[in-house]
Structure 1
Amino acid sequence: MAETSRKSTTTDVEMEQKHQHSIQISSPAPPPRQLPPPPPPLPLKSRNHRNLWGIIGERKSNNQQKDKSSHHSIKMPKAPPQAPPLPPKSGPKKPSILYLSEEQRDNYLNICVPLYNAAIKGDWHAAEEIITDCPEVINTSITKRQDTVLHIISSTKHTHFAEKLVKLMAVEDLELQNGLGETALCLAVASNVKMVHILLRRNSGLLRIRKNGDLPFMLAVRYGDKHMVEYIYSKTNIDTEKWYYMDQKRILESCLSLGLFDIALKIFTHCKDDHKIETDILGYLANSPSAFDGTTQSVIRRLLHTILPGSNDNSKVAEIVRLIWGKIVKQKYEDIWKLVSGQSSNEKDEGFLFAAARLGNYKFIRELLKLYPDITWGKDGNKHTIFHIAVIHRHENVYNLLYDLGSKKFAMKDNDGNHILHLAATKPAQSRLNIVSGAALQMQRELLWFKEVQTRVSPADRRQVNNEGKTPQELFTEQHADLMEKGESWMKETASQCMIVAALIATIMFAAAFTLPGGTNDDNGKPIFGKRRAFIVFAVTDAISLCTSSASILVFLAILTARYTENDFLVSIPMKLMVGLVTLFISITTMMIAYGASFFLLYPKSMKWIPVIVTVLAGLPVILFAGLQFRLLFDVINSTFNSRHLFRPKRHMLY
């Protein structure tokens, strides 16, 4: 009996496997087949037998049900249950693109294009008719860039159009962004303040919607309109804003570059607990000398700043520096020095102390030294102090801080064996030479620097050699040989051209002295118009022009025949050039005055307008000469007379 049971079980299992295999085949359903009848019930001898027959019976019952259903269809495995849908993410709000499809081409041409033209022209009546006939167009894209009509009008100055348009729009529709991620406010910040006021009055939340990560406030700062920045800042509650690190840094730097120091100070006060922001702003100010001078200065203030360095400080920027630096100086000296020298993160980085010295930002350095003078004599990787760097880059304002620190002598050498006089003997970058006009005046400025630094070196150190075996004087001669040649060539060319002009003027005025206007009396040989005031003016100006042009010729001749040694460039040659240019200018001016006076003698009072017009036109050459040669003449006079004040300033630079 047990053997029969095992055979039946084996047969049933094989039949079940064949049946399952036939179901998995994706082919037409096979014809129905007869199953063998179930075996007769067997006596139950044990619990195990009962369980076995129960399992077999269940399998047979299942197989029969599957076989019946297989006559109709093949059951495929069920798909796994799907997860519940996620809630929609809050992304940018986009306008409808209904009219941008090809199917809506006619509606686009009949609705969107006229609405766009009406917005550009500011024609509200035409736009109102379109919006009345088609209300959904008010928040629909009307350009391929997905601009709505509000985007279009926000970039114009038609504020009356915008004011009426926003009244028809829902508040949330003002937050729609075009294909570039711009809201209407992002475009309005480049337009005018009133347009921004209209949008923010309707929806103040526009200030927090970014365009590619940039806030509208940052966009306004980038466009550089101070009035716009000030207005948006007035509408921003900075205490509730959570700006990112880059937001704070870029906004602060942009405000400082625009001269919005009041706003920069307020923003910095808001985020002053961020140490990285503080260090970055300090580095930015070190690299921005113009921030301390301001951006909107009158001519008088600029002239005062030129005469009295340090008299034009910007207190707001200096206050920011003092706030940051006042917190840093509370650290250990080692940590402070790593920060100012650039050794905190990367040894190749330039610290903001030496960056300020390289750029001549003496006002920044002054604020640092006032609060922490211990960094004064710190050295960078090349063993250069800030005064060595000032000499290398020819920044006299930084160098002049020495005069508030006592008469210190420099004896230390850098990695190349150069002391500070060797650095003064090295020719600087061309950009620093170009602060004065002409190679001759550049050579004069170099000699002034060399002579000044000599006073900071002992007589014994003046003869020391560097690693290349050169003394400072030898290095100066070698480095400036080409500049001397250029200076000589420039002076001779300038003198030659000016001498030609002076010779022509002298020739003309000499001939005019013997060809008097109106002629002379045949009886006594006296001038006919000798008693008229115009004749006196003519005679005097003719004589002045002749004498000054002759003097100018002699001065320029002396320039052509000069020896052109190094010391000649210091005083002699610049002085001759200055005298020659001044006398030439006087001769041209008096020549034109004499020319105009002669017309007053030849024309009667009834035709007085003719000599007036001629005299006015005669002033044109004088104005042209003064305008074209003013920079050269100013540099010559400044280098000759004010060079004595280039160093040793009259007022204290540090305290």
Structure 2
Amino acid sequence: MAAERGFTGLVKLIIDQSRTSPSYNGLMGRTALHAAVLCNDEAMTNKILEWKPDLTKEVDKNGWSPLHYAAERGCDLKIVELLLNKSEKSVPYLRSKDGKKTALHIAYFHHHTEIVEKILSHSPGCREQVDDKGNNIFHFAMMKKGDDDFKPSNYVNKWLDSRGLLNEKNAQGNTPIHLLSLNQISDSWFVWNEKVDKKAYNNQDLTAYDIILRADISEKKENIQVAFEYVMTESHSSVREKETKRRERKKERKEYISQLQKQGETHLIVSALITTVTFAAGFTLPGGYKEDDGQAILSKKAAFRAFVVTDTIAMVSSLCAVLLHFFMTMRQRGEYLEKHLLWAFNLTMVGMGAMAIAFATGSYAVLPHSSGLSFLTCILCSCFFLSIAVEYCLFWRGTISEFIIKIIHKILLASERKEKKMQTRR
């Protein structure tokens, strides 16, 4: 308990003052040395090792030794040195129950380079060990995604300069360079290494180059693909042409994204204007308010109710469009911008049409019905709304026509089925 909570002085007191050997086992089968390593406490670790150095080979219920946890947590190098120097030679070779992983495997997976160097300098033979799926240390180095600063080529040193480790296959037939393509780890130097076999096939008859070609489009994919193409058998001139085309596509994509963002800014102004106008109209209702209870004077008229409904529709739809434009500022992918810009455009068109109807119904509610002015206002607003509808239909002419054709086709099929049922009954 003292070791788990980092009470170094209390740990020393218990060890020095106890007449009999105190218990060192805790929850999950961990010892006091496990706890000291998890606290990353060098003084406590040293004291426990002076007391019982054999604790380095004690494992918890998962088969993890203190060295496993030091490799996972990236503990201080002095703690790793203490665990290695005061342990038996077999400790770096201990394998966990969950996957048969050594401390070196774990250090490679988490990219703790200095700990890897320490373990290899102490026990270089453990580099040959694999887990229960046949993954060696280079496989583990390629498994972790998202670490852009990590370069597997940094591990190709005096301890690992071996063609067998670089090209060893796991249970799926994947070599380390296959995992480099699967997890899109950008390291051109590893791909260009002459000892790495780029032509190796896995159990699915795929090379690492085949895997990166089938991956989703991303900047990392393009960089890895270019690195592969430079070392393939094709001429350097064709590679340069591909690289030139890739840069042109990248430039065009950036220009297209910039154009979408500019269109979004223009649409945002329109949406914000509709939101402002309709929001203000909701508090300056046509006809005014009653003095006694503050309710709208024209609340019982159908035209006034239509005004309230359409004004609300215009405000909500334009507000949703503003929200979509706000989300667009936080993304840079073209597909995302296209989708949100299209939805925002549709909502803005709905808001614009609803605003026109709200103006017409509001004017009709307050103007005398016998005067031609109210009918003229309704006709002009109706013309504007129809023009919006026509333009919108022309914009979606392909989709709308396909939708209408599908509806007609379904109606015809339904009628044919009814006729067949009637004939069978007869």
TM-score category (smaller protein):
0.3 to 0.5
| TM-score, normalised with respect to structure 2 | 0.46
